[in-house]
Structure 1
Amino acid sequence: MKKKLSIKDVAEQLNVSKTTVSFVLNGKAEENGISKAVQKKVLKHIEKVGYRPNRMAQGLRTGKSKTIGMLIEDISDAFFSSIARKFEEIFGQKGYRIIYGSTGNDTQVTKDLIQVFRNHQVDGFIIAPSPGIEKDIEELLQDHIPVVIFDRPTEDMDINCVLVDNFMGTCKAMQHLADNKYTNTAMITLTSEQSQMKERERGYRSCMANTGVEPSIMKVKYHEQKEKAITDIEQFLKNNPKIDSVFFTTNYLAEAGLEAITNLGLTIPGQLGIVVFDDANLFRLFKPPITAVSQPIERICDQAVLLLFEQMEGKEATGPKVIQLPTTLHVRNSTIRQE
């Protein structure tokens, strides 16, 4: 069996010190005065010989594992997969790796994953929280483990949090429909107690109240079988023929809804105007392209990383921050009626 290379072997092969190799591997070369030429030489050599640092050993020496634990609702969802990819990119540039898990918004699964990541000695957590995990997060903070929450807040917790303005994002979408002469908009959403879903519903109800038209809301169970969701949406639209537009509160509900609309032979935007909260490639490629509210993924990730590193480096001067970012409405042909 081939002997596993050590950092000492690499240093001897390059005729540099172990400390130099360590600084390069840990992203600390610049601050310790190591030249670009030496950094390039070390990185090129470790790639050539296939050296892989023992992160657990590094963690024991430095007190840092150089890993971040990330908990998201569903890695297969377009929004969360884009978020995860961007976090990987940002943390990778800083010499960190991410380990992540999908919670399915299940309390026990989330609790179990937190413990698993604690056992891996992650340096911090980024969490899209499931309900009922406030105590677990509080325990992390009490143990001085940095935590940043995103996508939805936790109940009654003073914690670093990055959110988007779901209420105003919905109001922008509803106003756009009104400007294009849609007067009877239905909302298709989840049966959910998640705060971001409540804010989207609040925005919808607020806008409908201003029109004097009775709200028309259909709620789909979280993780409902797609075939059943499609059938139920078809029936909802058949039962409500006065509806002239639909606001979908998630991208996966819109996917099911578009299939239901196609099955019914309804035209977009002629018979139904369509807006979805959470943009995805599918909506740009659909015929006609679908108007969508997009969340600022890069800014969410940048702000969350900044807040996490402030904690990790002990730079929190004013206590936890709640950052709320605006959304963007991408107007496409699904809401532009032909004159």
Structure 2
Amino acid sequence: MIDSLTFNHAARILASISADQRADTALRFYFESHRYLQPPVKRHISRTVFVYFRWLTWLDSKASAQKRLEQALSLQEAFDADPKVIKAEALAARAVPEWLASEMETPADYLRQLQRDPALWLRARPGQAAALAKSLFAAEVTELAPDAVRFTGVQDLFKTEQFKTGEFEIQDLGSQLVGLAAAPKPGETWWDACAGEGGKTLHLADLMKNKGVVWSTDRNAKRLDTLKRRAARAKLFNYRAELWDGSAKLPTKIKFDGILLDAPCSGVGTWQRNPHARWTTTPTDVAELATIQRQLLETVSGSLKPNGRLVYAVCTLTRSETTAIANAFTEAHPELEPQPVLGKTPQLTIWPHEYNANGMFIAEWKKKK
């Protein structure tokens, strides 16, 4: 049974969500207009909303909003106690939309992972993961990435002294692995072509030890403003932020040692964190985004130096946006040689159930001399 405060807020948020507005966006808008809510209350409300969409197809559509919320939380409680209480067949039929089967494998372990609360990952400054984990108390390091810290506490991280002084960024483990795959060296010139709010730009800049430069481009000026604020807090200055809409008119004529294309995608890899998107993403979205991804790869690849490296990353797992894109690009560009990703295969899939992180796909090429 959920408390009345959480129910009232969650019910209002659910009523405001539509196919045109993501649940996380609705939550952000709601909390901006209800600033008096304390962080623990916000977390409880957010979790209730996400649990609702996680178990949406199990709920009685004719029941009241309160009853459906109670059903969802009861299912979550039972699943957390014993994941096998929900049969694999039921998960395959209900946890994801039917069309997904034509785009990717959906093993039972993956589907079970989608029904769990997602991990919260932090990226410490290089070499400081153990110290950060100790200072935050409820946190632990991992062998999967040298600077990754999994936070398990309840305090408001944005109000901690460690955050204010730039000792960490909130960045999912999957995203951190992209930066590690890029592995830029101090003094190099890199291009983060679809930088967004700068999570990967800051990681590249950190790995470069504030030497060299990262060109950070995005079509959204507000995102770049956020990038600049984050960089200032982290005391990272080896970047240059520029608007770029993805067109053939490039932001610079510079040739780069490395290019990271974290392309727009369907976000299927984030469905554990954003379960509402399972029911709003369509095959048409996937097809349209795949077209954009192909175009962006073609556009940015011409800006590589000889021996330069191109890293393609998407937080999705669909074939149309991952292996199909990478294979076709390799076939069309014999001058670009596929490279091992993180010492493994030229194409690496980060599965949520294997890494306890967002699903990611990473491919890498090196331009021949």
Give the structure-1-normalised TM-score.
0.37
Larger CA Rg, structure 1 vs 2: 1
Higher relative contact order (CA 8 A, sep 6+): 1
Give the structure-2-normalised TM-score.
0.35
